[in-house]
Structure 1
Amino acid sequence: MTTPTQPDPPDQPVDMESLPPEVLQQVRRMVQAEYAKDLRTQLGQVPRTINWRTLSPEDLEQELLDLNAFVDWLRHEYGLPAQIIPPMWHRHPELLWELSALRQQWLTCYDQQAKGNMGVVWHAEFAAARERLRDWVSTSGTRLDRDRATRITEWPGGEAEDFTPPDTSERPVTNRSKDFVAFVTHAVQARQGEQDAAVREIVEGEPKDQSS
């Protein structure tokens, strides 16, 4: 006659204090790392203010792509005309800074940890931003089908020796997506050049080894 098998006894909880100190310390580090990883996943990345002047070439490229995706969503979602967001907004720093600030505000207000009234707060900020965008577009001169660089008023005796006023001749807008890609490529290359120049200045400025 076959003896029926007995069910396995339930797992007994491990007495953490009975573990060797080095093992206990390692387990605690693993638990803390998993907790921090899970917390980051739940909270997401905290939106930050973007300073376009100090981004690395890699970050500059990624932030431009992310901002472009947000602006494209925004204009479709709210049916915004070119008087508020024109196709060549990326060619105008004043529009880029304004739209970037608006995106960061949106990320903050719609973060999953945000309070329930933050959607209303964002729409209030959005209304004010639309008025500013109208002003920027009006003074910049960019339109749906044509674009020119924003004019800069030169101050007599107030400009740097190497200052060159932008070319403000109008150009037709024929392929916005292609122009944006070219803009990003040029911007990243220029920032890489600035970074390389800064590194060379630091290296060349270091005192030489007196023993050589």
Structure 2
Amino acid sequence: MMDTFDFQLPEDPPPDIVAIAQLGTAVHQLAAAVDALHQQHRQLRETVERSQLISAGPAGGQAMPWPLRWRDLDRDAAAQTWAWLIDWVGWFADRYEVAEEIPACWPQHPPLVEELTALAAGWHACYDDTAHPDGPLLWHERLTRARDRLRGWDDNTRCRNGTHTTRARDLIWPDQWHAEAIDAANNDLTGRPQLAGPEPERVPS
């Protein structure tokens, strides 16, 4: 942002000096407006670039982001991971003809997101330049087991023909499960033999 324009006119200045001061003030205001517009344009461009990470079509094989731990990703890292995964799953479903095994609404099912993320990571790793020659074969053997799991998830959700169905949870853990788990862990620690040294740490709650 430009510095504030501050020009003090002398008392009873001639008209030409007044005109020059007014012109200077107008130029300064215009420069400030242009600077503000530039800042807004830069922010808009950054916003568009971030949104395009997800809205863009298939990129023809994006580089695998890392790490892939969904629970640890911030917004920017998650945007890159989503773009990469959507691109890969679209290719995978067409190449391996598994559209009947993976519902189109898979991004709305966290278990499917995790399963497909693992498959995509394994696929990228097995075809890496430094991978062992039998890497692709091992990946396809694991794909066979993964397809059984994918069909199992689909049996639970029963999403068909683009219609998304939220999976019903018949049983959920009670609210106090975490505190009870901590108590059980600390009880287990108390019963274990201790080597000479300081007191063992307790599991933080």
Post-superposition offset of 1:81: 2.7
Stretches of structure 1 that go unaligned for 5 or more consecutive residues are: 1-44, 162-212
- Structure 1 segments, 4+ long, off by >3 Å, are 45-49
Post-superposition offset of 1:49: 5.8
Q: Give the number of the structure whose alpha-carbon radius of gyration is greater.
A: 2
Supply the distance in 1 between the matched residues of 2:139 and 2:168 (Cα, whole angstroms). Answer: 31
Supply the distance in 1 between the matched residues of 2:79 and 2:89 (Cα, whole angstroms). Answer: 15
Is 1:126 matched up with 2:126? no
Aligned position for 2:132: 115
Supply the distance in 1 between the matched residues of 2:153 and 2:64 (Cα, whole angstroms). Answer: 29
Structure 1 pair 58–69 and aligned structure 2 pair: CA distance change class (3 A): same
Q: CA RMSD in A?
A: 2.0
Supply the distance in 2 between the matched residues of 1:76 and 1:46 (Cα, whole angstroms). Answer: 19
Post-superposition offset of 1:46: 8.2
Post-superposition offset of 1:47: 7.2
Supply the distance in 1 between the matched residues of 2:65 and 2:170 (Cα, whole angstroms). Answer: 34
Counterpart pick for 2:83 among 65, 74, 80: 65
Greater RCO (Cα-Cα under 8 Å, separation 6 or more)? 1
- The number of aligned residues is 114
Stretches of structure 2 that go unaligned for 5 or more consecutive residues are: 1-62, 177-205
TM-score, normalised to structure 1's length? 0.50
| Identical columns (%) | 29
Supply the distance in 2 between the matched residues of 1:48 and 1:57 (Cα, whole angstroms). Answer: 14
Q: Residues 69-88 of structure 1 correspond to what in structure 2 (within 5 A)?
A: 69-82=87-100, 84-88=101-105
Asked if the contact 1:89–1:95 (Cα under 8 Å) also holds between the matched residues in 2, the reply is yes
Post-superposition offset of 1:65: 1.1
Supply the distance in 1 between the matched residues of 2:89 and 2:163 (Cα, whole angstroms). Answer: 19
Aligned position for 1:160: 175
Structure 1 pair 154–68 and aligned structure 2 pair: CA distance change class (3 A): same
Q: Residues 175-190 of structure 1 correspond to what in structure 2 (within 5 A)?
A: none
Supply the distance in 1 between the matched residues of 2:144 and 2:91 (Cα, whole angstroms). Answer: 17
Supply the distance in 1 between the matched residues of 2:65 and 2:82 (Cα, whole angstroms). Answer: 15
